[in-house]
Amino acid sequence: MDYGKTAPAVLEGVGGEANVESLVHCATRLRFVLKDASKADRSAVEATPGVITIVESGGQFQVVIGNDVAKAYAEIGRISGLGSDKARTKNTASEGQAGGNPLTRLVDVISSIFTPFLWTLAGAGLLKATIVLVTKVGLVSETSQEFTVLNAAGDGVFFFLPVLLAVTAARRFGANQWTSMAIAGSLVYPAIGALNEAGDPVSFFGIPMVMVAYASSVIPVILAVYVQSFVERGLDKALPSSIRNFITPMLTILLMVPLTLLTIGPASDWAGQGASGLIGWLFGLSPAVAGAVLGGTWQIMVVFGIHWGLVPMMANDLAVQGHSLLYGPLVAASAAQGAAVLAVMFRTRSKSLKKLAGPAAVSSFLAGITEPAVYGVNLRLKKPFVYACIAGAVGGGIASAGGSASTAYIMPGLLSLSAYLEVGSFALQLIGVGVAATLSFGLTMALGFKDVAEDTAEDAAENAAEADGRATGTDGPGTGAGTAPGRPAGESFEVAAPVEGRVVALTDVPDPVFASGTLGDGAAVAPSSGEVHAPIDGTVVSVMPHAYGLRSPEGVEVLVHIGIDTVRLGGEHFTTAVRQGDHVRLGDPLGEVDLAAVEAAGYDTTTMVIVLDAAGTGVVRTTEHTEVEHSTVLLSLGPQRALTPAG
């Protein structure tokens, strides 16, 4: 995938850089907070090569890319000012830019704070889990110096987690990130930690101070930076510019460190322990039921982005008690999605769906990254997603029945299972994962789903894009639901010209793929007008700026391809008037092209009209060199051979 092509298209689709309030990315998504959501063209972004789907949740416009999201993010940063500290800073500590209710705003805050270093946490968590494994099997002794070094490598990011959170929280709340880091550093300062460990009464100028452990903590530093943003803005307004730059940080640190230690820290610690205690109480009542509920609903929460609301609880559990029961059913939930998408790969006839399902299954199983599977396959087909949720509930209940919990921040995949060795029944964890995967795979294989077609018009658009020089390296805009191309036997069928101009024999088209009839039989028109119209009645099954796939009610599929190699233009000089799934009548507008601009860019504007799987049907073409209007009959398919009926 050439993300050098994807990035500008996505950026344009969200309304341009000027419309972006902030941008971060997580494991699979570009998370935009937009100034004006109405300026975003969802269909255009969704049709961009490299984009799996769009999710609008938590006040964010989330563009799902998959495991290579960092590459797309880097490309956007390269061509714009987004991704820089300044661009990601939000000067909205009191209100925020995320619309909706307090829950959606809270989700937006949490996700924007955690996502920038999500992979670092996951990588360090996997390292910690691996260290646990090698010590369990006796490869490294816990008393050795080697263990000390390796443990520091895996645990360092968690010990100093407040410092990392200070940076991202400062960007989110519009505070000075260096001042935020100074405040966070004070919280994890060794002498402060020693006061907590000593257990003796502590006071600050006679005010009793309740000491808590701040290493690895989450909530205290986030709240502290939130308050810091107000303090800084007040000081910036009150202080003269001649002393503001150094007096503001000094006074902010002087105020915020004692304030956090006296009030924010103890209060947030009590709240965190209370939430953790509630979760523990629920698991104590019935670990199996709690695990089943969480295992069955986890992927649903991921879809809506509300799973971020549990992340602080997980982090707090790890900091306070060294493990989190919330992780217990999550590997089973991820494995269930992976197994469902694996079954789809075996059952589907669609080549493009198979191509997506394989890597998505690997990502779900091994790394616990389920977005490609969920958005690219399972949720789109609906039933596999439901099967996986059911299986996740069963497997999650089994995994949690023995009190299984993770001792590290991980992505819940098979590669991280060693993090479950120390707490609860590891055997039940393995059984739960196995049952979830087996049940999900079995339900999907046995009960099935409504498949997409093996060779649909959008697949032809994909092949045409490859024939266009593979300039974008794309697989097309995605596969849509449909049936095998065909029409009732014994009936003729007419296809009109999509543009007005002069008829050209397909064999004279200067592209070997079209000229050879590899994609299907048809004709071409040298257009004299840039208006593109529907050549048949039917459904739009694919939309690319330079190509449209349509399917008639009889099952005949037609590809309209505007120009040779025009995919290299990346949509420039093209506008579309329809979306995938739209129903059109013969002559309805599909879009427009600036013929003069395309020709000036050095591209042939000959427009091809291809009927898929038309070989042997007796295609009759309008005489070449004839001038035609749009909607004039261009092709007539005779009844010599019946094709597979639709449906």
Between helices 177-187 and 241-259, what is the axis angle to 10°?
A: 30
Residue 254 CA to its chain's centroid (Å):
41
Residue 25's SS3 state is strand
How far apart CA 105 and CA 108 sit, in angstroms, is 5
- Give the residue carrying structure tokens 């109480």: 281
How far apart CA 16 and CA 647 sit, in angstroms, is 42
What number of other Cβ atoms are within 10 A of residue 246's Cβ? 9
- Looking at residue 95, what DSSP letter applies? T
How far apart CA 418 and CA 131 sit, in angstroms, is 9
Q: Which of 575, 529, 519, 511 is nearest to 549 (CA)?
A: 519
CB 559 within 8 A of CB 549: yes
Could you say which of 307, 533, 561, 573 is catalytic?
561
CB 98 within 8 A of CB 108: yes
How far apart CA 58 and CA 26 sit, in angstroms, is 14
- DSSP string for residues in 459-485: HHHHHHHHHTT-SS----S-------S
CB 619 within 8 A of CB 522: yes
389 flagged as catalytic: no
How far apart CA 535 and CA 253 sit, in angstroms, is 69
- DSSP string for residues in 325-361: GGGTTHHHHHHHHHHHHHHHHHH---HHHHHHHHHHH
Residue 234's SS3 state is helix
Q: Which pair of structure tokens corresponds to residue 69? A: 């999201």
Q: Which of 329, 184, 212, 194 is nearest to 271 (CA)?
A: 212
- Give the residue carrying structure tokens 């490869």: 139
Residue 152 CA to its chain's centroid (Å):
32
Could you say which of 26, 323, 389, 533 is catalytic?
26
How far apart CA 436 and CA 431 sit, in angstroms, is 8
What φ, ψ does residue 76 adopt, rounded to 5°? Answer: -65, -40
How far apart CA 2 and CA 295 sit, in angstroms, is 36
Residue 204 CA to its chain's centroid (Å):
47
583 flagged as catalytic: no
Q: Which pair of structure tokens corresponds to residue 296? A: 């069955």
How far apart CA 411 and CA 121 sit, in angstroms, is 9
Strand order in the sheet with 493-496: 493-496, 633-637, 619-621
Residue 272 CA to its chain's centroid (Å):
29
How far apart CA 310 and CA 510 sit, in angstroms, is 58
C-alpha distances (whole Å) from 186 to each of 117, 137, 181, 189 are: 21, 38, 9, 5
How far apart CA 505 and CA 521 sit, in angstroms, is 11
Active site residues: 26, 561
